[in-house]
Amino acid sequence: MTATAVVELRRYPVKAMAGESVDVVTLDARGLEGDRWFAVWDEDGRMATGKDSRRFRRRDAVFEYAAQQTGDAVRVSGPGGSWHVAIPRSTRR
């Protein structure tokens, strides 16, 4: 039997944005709690991502941002390094 070691745990709070390294995670039915719970939506109701489909729209600019979960809020940093805090109307549990 081959041993396997976890080298790093990463969570991506906002779909298609850079994520964060975490020391501890909680697993739920969807996987890592807080992983991809948020998304950027365009004016046509499509999620900004790296692919085009009926549900997704390719928006490469979203890759320039990073997201970090802080409690029930998500901090998003832009290319200039400034942080913006997004607090959801209701918390997913």
Reported pTM: 0.76
* Domain membership flag for residue 3: no
| Number of domains the chain is built from | 1
State the Cα–Cα distance between residues 71 and 13, nearest whole angstrom. 11
Structural domain span for residue 29: 9-86
- The set of residues, in sequence order, having a beta carbon less than 8 Å from that of 60 and lying 6+ positions away, is 50
* Domain membership flag for residue 58: yes
* Domain membership flag for residue 50: yes
pLDDT score recorded for residue 88: 64
Q: Rounded mean pLDDT of 64-93?
A: 77
pLDDT score recorded for residue 92: 45
Q: Rounded mean pLDDT of 31-39?
A: 89
